[in-house]
Chains A and B, each alone.
Chain A
Amino acid sequence: MGIEPVRAIRVPSVPFQGIKKWGGTRDSLPHTFLTDESKLSGHAKEIYFPSDESQLATLLRHLNRTGGHATISGMRTGVVGGAVPQGGSVICMENMDSLIGLGKDQQGYFVRVQPNMTLRSLQRILRQRYSSLPALQPGVGEEMDAQGPFFYPVDPTEQNGSLGGNVAANSSGARSFRYGPTRDWVRRLRVMLPNGDILDIVRGEHGFQGRECKVVTEDDVIHLRLPSYDFNRGVKNSAGLYCHEDMDLIDLFIGSEGTLGVITEIDLRLMPSYPVLSILVFFPDDGKALSFVADLRLSSSIRPDLIEYFDEAALGLIRDVKAKGGLRKLPCPPSYAGSAVFLDLPAGAEDISSVLESIRPLLRMHGGSPERSWCLHDRRGREMLRDFRHSIPETIFQHVGGLKGKNPGIHKMGTDVSVPDAAFPEMMEYYAQTLRSKGLRWVTFGHVGDNHPHVEVILHDMDDFRKAKDACQVFAHKAVQLGGSPSAEHGIGKLKREYLPLLYGSQGCKELQALKRSVDPNGVLNRGNLMEW
C-alpha cells in the first residue's frame, strides 16, 4: 500500500439558497428526524436535504464558518442514537439514494451506490436483469446476466437501513457468521471530510504506516494518528474506531459512526448466489437448543451460513402478538416448541436430501427432530423466516415506543455483547442470573453462531428501565473481562459511550478524541457519537 500522502479532492460550493431545508424553529421539525430506533429523543434547529456532493460540501463549509454542527441522518434505523441530533442541524441524506452502477475489477463484480440506498432496495436491484441497470464499464451488466444471479452477503436484520449507515456502523447480521461484517465487503468509499473536501479511497491503495497517515487537502495537511489500542478482531466487534498498525485507510472510516466524514459513495462487492435451505428447528427447551448449537459449531461436515437462536420467551413473544391479531403473515410457533435454532445451509437442488440427512443425527441427539422443523428454500419462504426472526426486535421496539407516553426517558434495553467461544456458556449463565436476581423478564434471540445473542429486557416502567440499565452495564464489564465486546454490531452512538473507557482506558479515549479533532477541529460532524464533544 502507498505511504504517499493521500490527496483530498476539492468539491466546488454552490449557492446555499438552493439546498432544500426545513425548519428554523425547533417546534416545526417532524419528530421522526429527531429520533431513531433507539427511541432516544433529540433536538435540532433545521434539517438540510443535500442532493449531491456540492450541496453537502457547501453545507459543511457553512457550518465550519458559522460555528454550527450537524448530525448525519440516513434511515434512522440505528439503535444507539447515532442519528439523534443533540442541537445544531440535521443533514438528511435521503436525496442521495441512487444506484450509480455495476462494475468489475480483478477481484470480481461490485455495485456502486449512493449512501441512502437501503439494503432492501439493493437486494431488489440485484434480482433484476443486470443489463437493464447502469454500468460503470461497458458490457458488465451482460456479463453478470450470463454468470448471475449475484448477491450482497451482509444481511443486517433491518432491511430498511441505509447502506451508508451500514458502513458507518460496520453493521453485521446473521450471515456475518460466515461472511464477516460490512467492512469485509467495502471495496471503495468516497468520504467527505468535515471541511467539504472528498477522499476517494479504494481498499488496498492507501494505508497507515504504523499508526500514521497524512491527508493533504487544498489548504491543509491532516496528520492522522491512530490511538495506541488494538481493536479487538477476535470477536464480532463494533465498539469504537477500528485501529491497528499498518491498517488500510478505508477501515478508519468504516465503523467511525460519521464522526470523521460523510460517506457519499460506496462500492460493495458481490458474490454469485447459490441455493440455500433455510431451516428452523424446534427444541423442547433452551438448554437443548444451545447444546445443539455448540455441537453444530464443532461439526466439520455441516457448514451453515448462519446460526440464530430463539429462546422460549422469544417464541412466547411471537405467540402473544399473534394471539392479539398481529404478525398475520407469519406462522405461529408450534405449541410443542420450547426454543428454536435457525440455520441457512447451502444446498443445490440435487442435494437437498443429503444436506437434510446430514443434520438429522445431531438434531436427534439434542432432542430435536426433522418433523419438528420448518424448512424453506424458495426466496419468499426464506424471507418469511427472516421476517419471523426480525419480528422479535420489531415487537420490542414497538412495545418500548408505546411506553414513551408515560415514561418519556425510556428506551429499549438490550445487550449487544459478543464473547470468545470458550466464554459463551459462562456469559449466558451470567445473563440469566443477573436478570433473575433483579426480577426482570427478558427474551434472548439472535446471532448465537457468533456468541452474540441479543438479550432484551421486557420493560414496563422506569423502574424496570433503571434495573435493566444497571444490568447492561455489568454485562458490558463481564464481556470485556471475558475478552469480548460490549458492542458487537450496534456501535456506540450516544447510548453506549461509557463502554469505550472500559475497553480502551482513559488514555485510549483521549487518543480517540485527538484523532477526531485532527480531522474535525470545529466538531462539525456527529457530535456526541463515540465521545462527548
Chain B
Amino acid sequence: MKILVMVKQVPDAENVELDPQTGNIRRDGAERMLNPYCEFALQAAVSLREEGDEVVVVTMGPRSAEEALRYCLERGADRAYLLTDKDFAGSDAWATATVLSRFLQLHEPDHDIVLTGRQAIDGDTGQVPAELAVISGLEPFYHVRSVSKQDGMWRVTQDYGDEVRELMISGSCVLSIASGSLEPKVPSMVDVQEAQGKPLKVLDRESLDLKKSEAGLAGSRTRVVKIVNQVHTRASQKLQGTPAEMADGILQAGGWI
C-alpha cells in the first residue's frame, strides 16, 4: 500500500512578521516549521502503515522546504519529493493543486490514498485538498479525525463538531485531516540518522510536464487584492458599588436596560 502525504512548510507561527504595506506575511529570513495540520496528516499516515506499506511525503515550495521533508522522514515517512521551481512562486490554491495533481499523475499514479492537512496556517484557504481531488478525479473528504483500513476499504471518522460521521470509502481519495495528537512524536537518534539516507527527489516544472502558464502566478486564478489586519480595541470600565449596583452597571453597559 502506498500512502501519499501532501505537506507544506510555513513560517513559524511564533515569529511571524506582517508587511505593514501589503498585509502579507514576510517570508524572508523568517523561521519555518511544518504546518501543524500537515503533522496530523503525517501522524495519520504513519499509524495507517502496516508491514510493507510505504509513506511518501510531497511538498511544493522553495529549496528550504527540504527541511520540512526531512522532518517527516525522521518521523516515519519513507521517501520524499520536493517540487520546486522559480516558476511555481506565487501559486494560489488552484495552481498548487494543479502542480500536486500533475505530480500524482506522472510520478506516483499507483497511490492508494492521499492525505493532506486541513489548511496551511499561513494562507488559511483550506482549498487545496478539494481542488487537488477535483483535478485528479478523486473524491475529497473534509474534517477527518481518523482513518483506518477495514475489509479493503477506508474507515474514516469525520468530526463536524456537533456530529461525528463514520464512513467506509472504497478506492483512493483525498482526506483532509483536521485533528490529531498534540503529544509530539519524538524521533530517536536512529530515526534521525536513517532519515539522512532516505530518498528525497527534487522535481522541477519541466519534469512535471507543466507549461509556465499552468503554475505560479501565471497559473493562479485568484489575486489577493488587499489584506487588512483587523485590530480590535476594547475599552474597559470599572464598576463600583454594591453587587446589585454593579449588576445594574453591567446591564447598562451592555445596553440591556
Contact = CB atoms under 8 A, between A and B. Distances in A.
Interface of A: 124, 127-129, 132, 145, 277, 279, 281, 328-332, 352-353, 356-357, 359, 370-381, 384
Given A128-B15, A128-B17, A328-B182, A375 B189 contact: yes
Contacts of B244: none
Chain B: interface size category: 20 to 34
B47 interface: no
Given A328-B182, A328-B183, A330-B183, A380 B189 contact: no
Contact of A381 (B15, B28, B186, B196): B186
B52 interface: no
B112 interface: no
Contacts of A277: 192
30 contacts: A124-B15, A128-B15, A129-B26, A132-B17, A277-B192, A281-B189, A328-B182, A329-B183, A330-B184, A331-B186, A332-B183, A352-B192, A352-B193, A352-B196, A353-B193, A357-B193, A359-B189, A370-B188, A370-B189, A370-B190, A374-B187, A375-B186, A375-B187, A377-B192, A378-B33, A378-B67, A378-B71, A380-B33, A384-B184, A384-B186
Contacts of A370: 188-190, 193
Nearest to B28: A129
Q: Is the interface of A mostly helix, strand, loop or mixed?
A: mixed
A329 B17 CA distance: 25
A161 B15 CA distance: 20
A379 B192 contact: no
Given A129-B17, A132-B17, A379 B187 contact: no
Contact of B188 (A329, A353, A374): A374
A521 B16 CA distance: 50
Given A145-B29, A352-B193, A375-B192, A124 B183 contact: no
Interface in B184-209: 184-193, 196
Given A374-B187, A375-B189, A380-B12, 9 more contacts: A279-B189, A329-B183, A352-B192, A356-B193, A357-B193, A370-B193, A373-B188, A374-B186, A384-B184
A375 B33 CA distance: 17
Nearest to B183: A331
Nearest to A148: B29
B14 interface: yes
Nearest to A132: B17
- The 6 lowest CB-CB distance pairs between A and B, nearest first, are A370-B189, A374-B186, A375-B189, A375-B192, A373-B189, A370-B190
A119 to B, nearest CB: 15
A124 B14 contact: yes
Contact of A376 (B12, B14, B17, B186): B186
A29 B43 CA distance: 49
Contacts of B14: 124
B190 A371 contact: yes
A379 B189 contact: no
Contacts of B17: 128-129, 132
B182 A329 contact: yes
A373 B187 CA distance: 8
